[in-house]
A and B are shown apart, each in its own frame.
Chain A
Amino acid sequence: MSLIPSNALRRKVQSTLAAVLLTGVSAMAVVAQERPVQGGTLVYLEQQAHTNLYPPAGGFYPNSGILNQITDKLTWQNPETLQNEPWIAESWEINADATEYTFKLRSGVTFSDGTPLDAAAVARNFDTFGLGNKELGYPVAEAINNYDHSEVVDAQTIKFVFKKPAPGFLQATSVIGSGIVAPSVLDQPYAELGDATKIIGSGAFVIESEVLGQSLNLKVREDYAWGPANVDHQGRAYLDAIQYIVTPEDSVRIGALLAGQADIIRQIQAYDEPQVEAQSYTVLSAPTRGVNNNVSFRPENPLVRDLKVRQALTAATNSAEIVSTLFSSHYPQATSVIASTASGYVDLSEKLAFDLEKAKALLDEAGWVPGADGIREKDGAKLELNVYESLPQPQNRATLQLLSQQWGVVGVKLNVLAGDSGSAATDNLDPLKTPLRPAMVGRADPDVIKSNFFPTNRDSLLQKGGSNANATWEDPELNALLLSIASEPNPEKRIALTGDVQAYLLDQAYVIPIFEEPQVFASAPYVHDVSFDAVARPSFYNTWLSAR
């Protein structure tokens, strides 16, 4: 008998937990039936300084935490239904093969510098997002595929035309990377957009001042009147101002919050959750609905080229133990490549079962036999793998160390390296130095799988034609599957293909999913109604502060 519950039981536990959480939230909502109060400054402690604030660079959480308050998007993805609903666009039409999208824009929307947010401005934004701008150094946005050009039909109507079907585009208009900025912003060199005061959006808040790398002040926009149509609250935001303070030390963020020096903090670790809750502070956890926190193999490396080795390592991975040792109920154990809350998810937990005997047998079959020091050997080579920790991922170092312990049981040595960013960036491009790498991506669209694995996107497997110039290995079958998801206009077929690619990735054991990564925030008891978009980017539009 193992201590790990069966899959069915585990799912039951999870859904019960989810139910408990939900009731917890709604119970709180009942308590908080007071009327929202206008006024006050929210002090927000962020773990890392923002980098470039060009909206498509908003995938980086510190960037998105800012961009989400100062920019609006064409559509709003309802985090509950994952449907796209009106925001700056009042309505839209999509042609049958998803190559033409026409949006009708709301009138009267202005940027904070007073210029109108009209079809011409939207065209300028998406032309830059979809095509880049070599002269000024703008790269192409990750979320936008197959973009060709835009046509301004009239002041409030815009049409986008694609080279090939782009079924993910509607969802792409709602992501953080598609925040609309004033055209004058896009006239400046890309390299200068690290200065937040240069970013002019139409959002509910405006950048007031910045101390680079340390703090950023946002103030409310009094005349804001174009929130997402289906959000109850309309008009200006309740808060007067938001103050971002970069506080890299985990213990300082949590300590400052509990000592009453801050109102909300990003990135609280699972081990701090109990004491936050014990003091009746709130832990806010939002799923990122994308590719699960995982380790991905680079089959170019001869050590992990053999399918049996990868399968053995999958079987030797006890993700339940990792979750129970290091994490909390906000971090569900992974049951597929993508999160159970992601669109197109299929439960594949039987492919991820923890089975030491199977792992050992597979390694024996593959010809790796235990050496004198317990580490398996074959033709004089040791089964010793290196991996760099990924700093942005929660407790990644501890996760990898625990994984290293687990693999050690079957005779595989995993060295966890904690390099500087430079060595890590270089070595992570060389599959011979890094046979595997921790990864995750958040985006609530099946395109997210392509984002993570396709050679010209994030290229998690380091295939030929991707970021490693010397790569010779590729999996054409996988790439064909990924491409078909990105251009399949029929939603049902697209979901089916998404299921296929999940199964394929796990059958080939290219990736070992570990847990579904949330973004976890903690807030003081007097902070109400912090909302999150579909991939856990916080929005403070509805947020208000009651008396302390």
Chain B
Amino acid sequence: MTRLLVSRIGQAAIVLLLAFTASFLLLQALPGDAILIKYQNPEMGLTPEQIAEIRVLYGADAPIWVQYGNTLWNFLQGSFGYSVQAGVPVNPLLATNLPPTLRLASLGLVVAVIIAGALAFAATLAPFAWLRNLLQSLPALMISVPVFWLGIMLIQIFSFRLRLVPIINPSEFQALILPVVTLSLPIAAPLAQILIRSLDEVQTQPFVSVARAKGASRAWVLWRHVLRNALLPVLTIAGVLFGELLAGAVVTETVFGINGLGRITEQAVSNQDTAVLQAIVILAAVGFVLINLLVDLVAPLIDPRLNTPIGASA
């Protein structure tokens, strides 16, 4: 167990270093640069010489390998450099923007699980075949709706037409309703499909008939047996769901004008704010690696038959 743990942590560290290097090279390859984008803006009225001076100020004139070394060293010490566009260090930028995104993403995940569970049970237990079919095809519909389109439509309908939820200066709770729904629907869809399948499988198992014969209700039997069966496939996609949540956050935050990591990401890409992007990539990679590590360690506890890792390379 300890050896497995050490080897997994070692592999995780290698993945992180590779992700850092790859993203550093990728970001260096972008045409133009943050300084040019910000200061070339004619409204700033700067001459080329002035821009060159600003460049020296940010250390952006050093050779690439020196910059790589510096960046890596600073990252190891937990310092992420300066955001050119916002004119502030990256660390406080992340510190202010990470919590709202984490809150949005975790709520989104919780709501997604609830929606998926409710949908799966309804789709399995609904009284009529046509209704079951309809409910079973709902996840496919949910996955087919572009997230940004859904967000735009929800705002128009619920905030502006029906005036149910304000977008500007909402209370903490109101602020989260529409974004969480927007974010959770596409995440709920695959979960619901997995659950529906698990339920289908469980229903055909002999012990279900036995339990039923003993007088247990169908719903109770499914509830008893679905949890373990559903948990494993959900765990396997945990790392991937994390990525989906991040991508979803970019779009959701852009549409709803919520400040957060997603919006920062989108702006940083557009302005090629390399320091910010580099920090976000590493943050995301750390999250991904940690989740997979956790899944690898937890999965055998749920199902002792599993002694091979399932998270990183299923």
Interface of A with B (CB < 8 Å)? 43, 45, 49, 51-52, 56-57, 59-60, 132, 134, 137, 139-143, 190-195, 211-215, 243, 245-249, 251-252, 255-256, 258-262, 392, 420-423, 425-426, 428-429, 439, 441, 451, 456-458, 466-467, 469
**Measured between C-beta atoms, what is the minimum distance from B168 to chain A in Å?**
4
Contact status of A458 and B42, CB under 8 A, knowing A137-B57, A213-B264: yes
B267 contacts chain A at the CB level, 8 A cutoff: yes
B50 adjacent to A422 (CB under 8 Å): no
Chain B residues with a Cβ under 8 A of chain A:
30-33, 36-48, 50, 53-54, 57-58, 82, 84-88, 92-93, 96, 152, 155-156, 159-160, 163, 166-169, 254-255, 257-259, 263-264, 267, 269-272
* Contact of A60 (CB < 8 Å), options: B33, B36, B44, B168: B44
In angstroms, Cα B162 to Cα A259, docked, is 9
Contact across chains for B88 and A192 when beta carbons are under 8 A apart: yes
**A420 near B270: Cβ-Cβ < 8 Å:** yes
Q: Is B167 in contact with A252, judged by CB distance below 8 angstroms?
A: yes
Given A43-B168, A211-B96, A421-B270, answer yes or no on A439-B42 (Cβ-Cβ < 8 Å).
yes
Q: A194-B88, A255-B159 are in contact. Are A59 and B43 (CB under 8 A)?
A: yes
If A137-B57, A212-B88, A258-B160 touch, whether A429 touches B40 (CB-CB below 8 Å) is yes
A193 and B31: CB pair below 8 A? no
B residues less than 8 Å from A134 (CB atoms) = 53
Instruction: Show 28 residue pairs from A and B whose CB-CB distance is below 8 angstroms, ordered by the A residue.
Output: A43-B168, A43-B169, A49-B86, A51-B85, A51-B87, A59-B44, A134-B53, A137-B57, A139-B50, A194-B86, A194-B88, A212-B86, A213-B259, A215-B259, A246-B257, A248-B254, A251-B152, A255-B155, A261-B168, A392-B43, A421-B271, A422-B30, A422-B33, A423-B32, A425-B32, A428-B40, A467-B48, A469-B48
Check B257 against A252 for contact (C-beta < 8 Å): yes
Query: Are A140 and B155 neighbours in the complex by a CB distance under 8 Å?
Result: no
B159, B160, B168 — most chain A CB neighbours (10 Å): B168
Q: What separation, in Å, do the CA atoms of A133 and B43 have in the docked complex?
A: 19
Residues of B within 8 A of A132 (CB): 50
Please report the C-alpha to C-alpha distance between residue A40 and residue B86 in the assembled complex, in whole angstroms.
30
- Are the C-beta atoms of A140 and B50 separated by less than 8 Å? yes
Whether B159 lies near A259 (C-beta < 8 A) is yes
Flag if A261 contacts B44 (CB, 8 Å): no
- Decide: A466 near B48, CB < 8 A? Known: A60-B41, A422-B30: yes
Alpha-carbon distance between A440 and B295 when the two chains are bound, in angstroms: 56
Instruction: Point out the residues of chain A lying under 8 angstroms from B92, CB to CB.
Output: 212
A195, B43: Cβ atoms under 8 Å? no
Known: A60-B43, A137-B57, A421-B271. A251 touches B87 (CB 8 A): no
Q: Do A426 and B270 touch across chains, with their CB atoms under 8 A apart? A: no
Q: What chain A residues lie within 8 Å of B43 (beta carbons)?
A: 57, 59-60, 392
Known: A192-B87, A420-B270. Is A426-B31 also a contact (CB below 8 A)?
Answer: yes
Give 5 closest A-B pairs by Cβ, nearest first: A194-B87, A142-B45, A422-B32, A214-B259, A255-B160
Neighbouring A residues of B258 by C-beta, 8 Å = 214
What residue in chain A is nearest B50 (Cβ atoms)?
Answer: A139
* A214: chain B residues within 8 A (beta carbon): 257-259
Q: Most chain-A Cβ atoms within 10 A of its Cβ — which of B40, B152, B155, B257?
A: B257
Report chain B residues within 8 Å CB of A52: 87
A261 touches B166 (CB 8 A): yes
* In the complex with contacts A211-B259, A252-B155, A421-B272, A195-B168 CB distance below 8 A: no
Q: Given A194-B87, A213-B263, A249-B257, are A422 and B53 also a contact pair (CB < 8 Å)?
A: no
Q: Which residue of A lies closest to B82 (CB)?
A: A191
Which secondary structure dominates chain A's binding surface?
A: loop
Shortest CB–CB separation between residue B50 and chain A, in angstroms?
4
Give the distance in Å from the alpha carbon of A466 to the alpha carbon of B42 in the complex.
13
B76 to chain A, nearest CB (A): 23
Q: A49-B86, A139-B54 are in contact. List 18 more A-B contacts (CB 8 A).
A: A43-B169, A59-B43, A60-B41, A139-B39, A139-B44, A139-B50, A194-B87, A194-B88, A212-B88, A212-B259, A213-B259, A246-B257, A256-B167, A259-B160, A259-B166, A261-B167, A451-B45, A466-B48
Q: How far is the CA of A246 from the CA of B159 in the complex (A)?
A: 18
Closest A residue to B156 by CB, please name it.
Answer: A255
Assembled-state Cα–Cα distance A479/B288 (Å): 57
Q: How far is the CA of A245 from the CA of B156 in the complex (A)?
A: 19
Residue in chain B with minimal CB distance to A58:
B43
- A249: B residues at CB distance < 8 A: 152, 255, 257
Inter-chain contact A57/B44, CB cutoff 8 Å:
yes
Alpha-carbon distance between A132 and B46 when the two chains are bound, in angstroms: 11
Q: Which residues of chain A have C-beta atoms less than 8 A from B44's C-beta? A: 57, 59-60, 139, 142
Contact A422-B31, Cβ < 8 Å, known A60-B41, A255-B155: yes
Contact present for B58 and A191 (CB under 8 Å): yes
In angstroms, Cα B170 to Cα A262, docked, is: 11
| Distance, CA A57 to CA B57, complexed state (A) | 18
What are the residues of chain A within 8 A of B36 when measuring CB–CB?
A: 422, 425-426
B57 contacts which chain A residues (CB < 8 A)? 137, 190-191
Specify which chain A residues have a CB less than 8 angstroms from the CB of B88 in the assembled complex. Answer: 192, 194-195, 212
CA distance A466 to B160 in the complex (A): 48
B53-A195 in contact (CB<8A):
no
Q: Is the CB–CB distance between B93 and A137 below 8 Å?
A: no
Find the residue from A247, A251, A255 having the highest chain B CB count within 10 A.
Answer: A255
A214–B119 CA distance with the chains assembled, in angstroms: 36
CB-CB nearest in chain A for B45: A142
Which residues does chain B contribute within 8 Å of A392, judged by CB atoms? 43
Q: Which residues of B contact A457 (CB under 8 A)?
A: 45, 47
Q: How far is the CB of B176 from chain A (nearest CB, A)?
A: 15
CB distance from A519 to the nearest CB of B (A): 13
Q: How far is the CB of A426 from chain B (nearest CB, A)?
A: 4
A195 to B96, CA, bound (A): 13
| Smallest CB separation, A436 vs chain B (Å) | 15
- Shortest distance in angstroms between B177's beta carbon and chain A's nearest beta carbon? 15
B38 smallest CB distance to A (angstroms): 7
Give B97 Cβ to nearest chain A Cβ, in Å: 8
Inter-chain contacts of A137 with B (CB < 8 A) = 53-54, 57
Q: Which residues of A contact B159 (CB under 8 A)?
A: 255-256, 259, 261
Query: Hey, which chain B residues are within 8 Å of A56, CB to CB?
Result: 45
A205 CA / B311 CA spacing, docked (Å): 55
Residue of A nearest to B271 (CB): A421
Give Cα A439–Cα B255 distance, bound, in whole angstroms: 28
Q: A421 to B254: give the CA distance in the assembly, Å.
A: 17
Q: How far is the CA of A132 from the CA of B85 in the complex (A)?
A: 20
Contact, CB under 8 Å: B168 / A45? yes
Minimum CB–CB distance from B30 to chain A (whole Å) comes to 6
Q: How far is the CB of B34 from chain A (nearest CB, A)?
A: 8
Contact of B48 with A195 in the complex, beta carbons under 8 Å: no
Which A residues touch B31, using CB under 8 A? 422-423, 426
Question: In the docked arrangement, what's the CA distance between A195 and B152, Å?
Answer: 31
- A211 neighbours in B (Cβ, 8 Å): 96, 259
Given A51-B87, A249-B257, CB of A259 within 8 Å of CB of B163: yes
**Interface centre among A246, A248, A259, A421, by most B CB within 10 Å?**
A421
* B154 CB → nearest A CB, Å: 12
CB-CB under 8 A for A248 and B48, given A213-B264, A261-B169: no
Cross-chain contact of B168 among A141, A194, A245 (Cβ < 8 A): A245
A132 to B47, CA, bound (A): 12
Bound Cα distance from A192 to B82, whole angstroms: 9
How far, in angstroms, from A439 to B258 measured CA to CA in the complex?
A: 31
Which residues from A are CB-within-8-Å of B155?
A: 251-252, 255
